[in-house]
């Protein structure tokens, strides 16, 4: 019991130090890395609510550059709306030999009666694509009550959800690569 390490703040993210501590206690401990060199990344971006998705895309490209993904290894594909994202993600995952796909969109409840269908189908479609293909597909689609909430989540800096989604893409791509090697 004494040797157990408890986290004081149960809502926080597990820290690097905690992960390092676990490595000494198990045979293998694998995590994604923010090392984008050599990765090929697809970005599927929705034209709908373009004022928001443009900001998400700016954030995503900033993250990919920060993690040293070569700009020539990034493919951006535009789709009409969030509903169309899963099909294009599927095409990229099956045919384009990419290491991860980052999906960007904004579904705002205030503006649509079919919010639940668009948001729900987009989310479950994205999950299906990554489970069926084994290629990480990241859900960087904002689902908010108002445009103002979507603006808050697509501002400058690390809190930008596009930045966060692209970072997750790099981490998941490097994680899956390591798992294939473990196999
Ligand atoms: N698409 C979005 O990306 N966000 C929305 O908020 C939205 N609304 O409000 O309806 C939306 N609708 C379009 C949808 O994604 C499809 O493009 C359309 O239904 C054609 O299939």
pLDDT of residue 10: 64
Active-site residues: which are they?
114
pLDDT of residue 1: 37
End-to-end CA distance of the chain: 33
Residue corresponding to tokens 């703040």: 9
pLDDT of residue 110: 77
pLDDT of residue 182: 85
pLDDT of residue 104 exceeding 50, the answer is yes
- Ligand 1 binding site (Cβ under 6 Å of any ligand atom): 46, 48-49, 80-84, 105-108, 111-112, 114, 118
Mean predicted lDDT score pLDDT of the chain: 92
CB 161 within 8 A of CB 154: yes
pLDDT of residue 43: 98
Q: What would the pLDDT profile of 25-79 be if each residue is shown by its tens digit?
A: 999 999 999 999 999 999 999 999 999 999 999 999 999 999 999 999 999 999 9
Percent of the chain past pLDDT 90, that is, above it, reads 83
Q: Hey, which of 45, 88, 118, 119 would you mutate to test ligand 1's pocket, going by the most ligand atoms within 8 Å of its Cβ?
A: 118
Q: Hey, which of 83, 110, 122 would you mutate to test ligand 1's pocket, going by the most ligand atoms within 8 Å of its Cβ?
A: 83
Q: What would the pLDDT profile of 89-99 be if each residue is shown by its tens digit?
A: 999 999 888 99
pLDDT of residue 97: 87
Question: How remote is the CA of residue 24 from the centroid of ligand 1, in Å?
Answer: 49
Locate the ligand 1 atom nearest the alpha carbon of residue 46 and give its number.
3
pLDDT of residue 112 exceeding 70, the answer is no
**Domains detected in the chain:** 41-182 (3.40.50.960)
CB 53 within 8 A of CB 104: yes
């Amino acid at each position: 019991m004494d040797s157990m390490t408890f986290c004081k703040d149960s809502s926080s993210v597990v820290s690097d130090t905690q992960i390092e501590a676990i490595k000494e206690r198990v045979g293998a401990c694998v995590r994604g890395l923010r090392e984008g060199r050599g990765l090929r990344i697809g970005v599927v971006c929705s034209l709908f609510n373009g004022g928001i998705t443009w900001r998400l895309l700016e954030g995503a490209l900033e993250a990919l550059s920060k993690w040293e993904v070569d700009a020539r290894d990034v493919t951006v594909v535009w789709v009409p709306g969030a509903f169309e994202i899963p099909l294009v993600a599927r095409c990229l995952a099956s045919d384009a030999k990419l290491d991860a796909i980052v999906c960007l969109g904004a579904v705002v409840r205030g503006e649509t009666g079919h919010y639940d269908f668009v948001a729900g189908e987009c989310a479950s479609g994205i999950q299906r694509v990554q489970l069926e293909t084994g290629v990480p597909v990241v859900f960087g689609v904002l689902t908010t009550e108002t445009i103002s909430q979507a603006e808050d989540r697509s501002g400058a800096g690390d809190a930008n959800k596009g930045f966060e989604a692209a970072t997750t893409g790099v981490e998941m791509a490097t994680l899956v690569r390591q798992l294939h090697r473990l196999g």
